[in-house]
Structure 1
Amino acid sequence: MIPFTQYLRGLASDDDLVTLDDPDDVPVDVVAAEALRASGPAIRYERVDGVDLASGTFSGPDQMQRRDSHPWSRLALGLGLDPDAPFVTLLDTITALGPADGVEPTYAGQAASRTVDGVQELQLPRGTDDVWPSLTLGVVSVATADGSHWAPIYGSVISDDTLGVYTPAAVSSLLDDGGTLSIALGVPPAAITTAYLLTVTGRIEHPVQDCGVADNVPLVPTNGGLVPSATELVIETTVEDRHPDFQSDRQEAWEHVVASTPLALSIERVIATDDPVLPVSPVGRPLADDVQLTGLAAAATLYHRVNDYWGISPVEWVLLPAETELGICFVATDVLYAGFEWQLANILFTFSSLFDTVVIVDEDVSPRDLGRVLGDIWVKAHPSRDWIFSESAAPAAKRPRYRQDGETGARLYVNAAWDPRWEDSYIAPRVAFEQSFPGPVRDAARQAWNGRHDTERDGERDET
């Protein structure tokens, strides 16, 4: 289990986090969104007033730009993996956080022990269009007779005594009027990933005590339910109104998977660590943290569902890139038989309503190179033969920005895999540096390229 602050130190040691002073004239969410757009590192904002903030901690660089790291590299580190771990290893690790057999939860003392006088003291960030300060990337915990239930939560600080939040409707169904719930901010990466996984898979009613996350994330009780003991900030609340009339213009990515509901909460107690750091996300902006977490949780779920479907594992990986706003599902697979691609696409459409397009590529294509994955769409797939549209009676997909009317439409799958019946001599070779030039020419080009960069760096040092 890696606490959030330790996770930030790990990002910093990997040169994947920079520390800035709190911007006075630009909202934090604007800076965070621009850093994500530019494929920059995660950011920690040191503040004189209020708690420190961190953005981009669960997101990553745009895969359409060449980078040494990948969108899931940061989260991999937070889940105890090497940042360069195989993508499928990350999917397996995420799946293992969910419902499991034989889990023995561990309990520990609460790291957050300092009582905060009022939530306004935290000086949570306010976006350009926000009336009130906002909280994002929270985990809500609700206790029932079966155990504690986790889900994502976000909202606004209306006053020192009241929060207006949105959380999955399944959470509201667990609560009575006057019921209690706790909001955990700055939790270990494994905890927030679990909250998204349970939400995306529709298993919020499953208690965390019976989930794999309880094996390595020590828990502690609150007035609502169990939360990670290493939580940076805990807000204990009671339900004031289950049907408030406020509305948010923002929408987190998980709300495209499950229905959400607003709640007005009365704040009972706020406790924090001595120097808390809270994660924030520019909700509704491209590549935001909530989009990455939703996409990875959905990909992990689909990967295991389709591989369990046949009793064998033909699928190499499943990817819902944040760059496509989760509206396209890419899958690399071995083609078992004629018509397998069509069957696989239909299974994916059945298991998820996020996307309306499935692109199937060969099993040897890497998920780390989205440019090559997209390139296979036009290199291998003929529009008149391999782009297959359904009839226009398919349910509307939830995520594509171009389909917000809720009407039915067509589903598309693109078969960008070579026909397995073809002989190798008929399959075009991959055009790349390694295949296009002899070894001595490649070595000479690399030496010239490295020498050029060494000269440029020497020139920069001389100017300095």
Structure 2
Amino acid sequence: MTGIPDLRDHLDALAALGDLRVVDEPIDPDLEVAAYTRHGYENRSPAPLFTRPACAVPGARLLGAPAALSSRADLPLARVALSLGLDPATAPAAIVDRLARVRDLPPVPPRIVADGPCQRHVALGAEADLDRWPVPVVHDGDGGPYVNTWGTIVVRTPDGSWTNWSISRVQKLDGHRMTGLFVPSQHLGVIWRQWADRGEPMPFALFQGGPPATPFVSSMPLARDVDEVGYLGAFYDQPVELVRCATVDLAVPTTAEVVIEGHVSPGRDADEGPFGEFPGYLVSGTGREPVYTITAITHRDDPVWPVIAEGRPVDDYHTAAGVCFAAEALGLLRAAGLPVTTVWCPFETANHWMVVTVPADWRRAGLDSTTLCARIGEVVWPTKFGFTVPKLFVLDDDVDPADPAELLWAVGTRQHPVDRVGVNAGPILPILACYTEREKAAKVGPRAVYDCLLEHRPAHSSFAGAYPAGVRERVRALLER
């Protein structure tokens, strides 16, 4: 690769595919931008680029659905593949395999440079005002406008040993303050706790844009103490160029579109939420969370601010988290020596399912199907993402788990009505609607592994499986006339 692409290269690639729609009409960030984006998810429309959102920043644009399913029916994962620098026709299993293999490569540290386009315009102190920006209200009933839905938050441990990049929702409180989720078990919450225990505010940088693979890498459930920017460098096979922030001792990609800098309070000082999350339901209720105080906002000329409108699948959260969770699970299962072909989180289930497929000779591992399925659960459940996946399905690899029609057929015909299911209790994500209120309150509930493996693989009664090659060729020739 000759250079690391940025968000604008991604826009050019989408335009070349006919998968970008430029919206030049004025539009209100208060619900209209998100509603337009949400309509696009549900109707598989091109990604909208809003060139005239109501705001005071000259040339500011909003981009909806940067990594959702494509409007091209022949290239459904084109936006995902292009985000990851792959051919738009790359198959789902190949995307997951690529991410899984990178996790085993040595990290490539970033390169710090003197300046970059992200600091073409610099606003400090009182001039760093979110009220000038088109911060969207995403759902009717949300706690307020949400500054972050697709950007990356950069924080570092007090001893400087670990720099973490992650995605987490961030809500605007006023022109100079924000709040957001700091989940104790997630890396952002772990690092914040280290600063809070010292009674010190935590420096942060929140950037939008930059290398298009960044939101995926920021979603990767990498191990604690692993720097995402090193993984990103390994992914691109070259260092990511970073520039030091204007007011905090952190660094961000030179090609970031917008950078917000400042400090996070050591206490939980503000009400955050509610916000319509990835399971697809509007929710109520708030929680006490830390406050981000802004010290600087920098940006490129004519900055592009990506927005996702989370909700019912399939949207960008489902594609990014689903692909990344599957890649991490695939890498871990391979490392455990288990015979696995691929892993997939079906987007249509809001990533509540994880499907593991195995090759025809899986018995070479010396395991029966019950033991194999139990071992798979033992690898997946303790992971950073395991508490978000209540159901695991283990299938033969004669089906493509990324094809919803094939997957439904296979699960429907191979899952035993009552037997061959392993259930255990463990940590769960309370926003998952499938759990009872008691389970949500305890944050503990059942997880299941469904053994859908066949004793013998019969041929499929399909065009490819039920007719000789000569007959298929003859029929194709007739269809082409």
Task: Classify the TM-score, shorter chain.
Answer: 0.7 to 0.9
Partner of 2:47: 42
Asked whether the equivalents of residues 318 and 329 of structure 1 are also in contact (C-alpha less than 8 Å), the reply is yes
Partner of 2:75: 69
Written as runs of structure 1 = structure 2, the 5 A alignment for 1:252-263 is 262-263=289-290
Specify whether residues 230 and 428 from structure 1 end up closer, same or farther in structure 2 by C-alpha distance, changes over 3 A only. same
Specify whether residues 384 and 206 from structure 1 end up closer, same or farther in structure 2 by C-alpha distance, changes over 3 A only. closer
**Does residue 33 in structure 1 map to residue 34 in structure 2?**
no
State, as a whole percentage, how many aligned pairs show the same letter. 21
Written as runs of structure 1 = structure 2, the 5 A alignment for 1:111-260 is 111-112=117-118, 113-116=120-123, 117=127, 118-127=129-138, 128-130=140-142, 132-135=144-147, 136-144=149-157, 145-167=160-182, 168-175=188-195, 177-197=200-220, 200-201=221-222, 203=224, 205-208=225-228, 210-213=230-233, 215-222=238-245, 223-240=248-265, 242-250=267-275
Match of 1:338 among 363, 368, 372: 368
Asked whether the equivalents of residues 97 and 194 of structure 1 are also in contact (C-alpha less than 8 Å), the reply is no
Match of 1:417 among 453, 459, 462: 453
Cα RMSD after superposing both structures: 3.1
**Does residue 90 in structure 1 map to residue 117 in structure 2?**
no
Specify whether residues 10 and 245 from structure 1 end up closer, same or farther in structure 2 by C-alpha distance, changes over 3 A only. same
Partner of 2:284: none
Q: Which blocks of at least 5 consecutive residues in structure 1 are unaligned?
A: 255-259, 452-464
**Does residue 376 in structure 1 map to residue 379 in structure 2?**
no
Specify whether residues 33 and 344 from structure 1 end up closer, same or farther in structure 2 by C-alpha distance, changes over 3 A only. farther
Asked whether the equivalents of residues 94 and 300 of structure 1 are also in contact (C-alpha less than 8 Å), the reply is yes
Asked whether the equivalents of residues 97 and 213 of structure 1 are also in contact (C-alpha less than 8 Å), the reply is no
Specify whether residues 17 and 409 from structure 1 end up closer, same or farther in structure 2 by C-alpha distance, changes over 3 A only. same
Specify whether residues 261 and 375 from structure 1 end up closer, same or farther in structure 2 by C-alpha distance, changes over 3 A only. farther
Q: In the TM superposition, what is the alpha-carbon distance from 1:383 to its structure 2 partner?
A: 1.8
Partner of 1:21: 24
Partner of 1:454: none
Q: Secondary structure at the match of 1:353?
A: helix
Amino acid at match of 1:269: A
Q: Secondary structure at the match of 2:319?
A: helix
Q: Which moved more, 1:133-142 or 1:436-445?
A: 436-445
Partner of 2:185: none
Written as runs of structure 1 = structure 2, the 5 A alignment for 1:236-385 is 236-240=261-265, 242-250=267-275, 262-310=289-337, 314-334=339-359, 335-336=362-363, 337-339=367-369, 340-347=371-378, 348-351=380-383, 352-385=386-419
Match of 1:78 among 83, 91, 97: 83
Q: TM-score, normalised by structure 2?
A: 0.79
Q: Distance in 2 between matches of 1:39 and 1:184?
A: 27
Q: TM-score, normalised by structure 1?
A: 0.82
Match of 2:67 among 58, 65, 81: 58
Q: In the TM superposition, what is the alpha-carbon distance from 1:4 to its structure 2 partner?
A: 1.0
Between the two proteins, the alignment pairs up a number of residues equal to 429
Q: Distance in 1 between matches of 2:231 and 2:435?
A: 35
Match of 2:12 among 9, 12, 21: 9
Q: Distance in 1 between matches of 2:34 and 2:305?
A: 13
Asked whether the equivalents of residues 239 and 264 of structure 1 are also in contact (C-alpha less than 8 Å), the reply is yes
Q: Distance in 2 between matches of 1:132 and 1:224?
A: 29
Q: In the TM superposition, what is the alpha-carbon distance from 1:231 to its structure 2 partner?
A: 0.3
Q: Distance in 2 between matches of 1:406 and 1:201?
A: 30
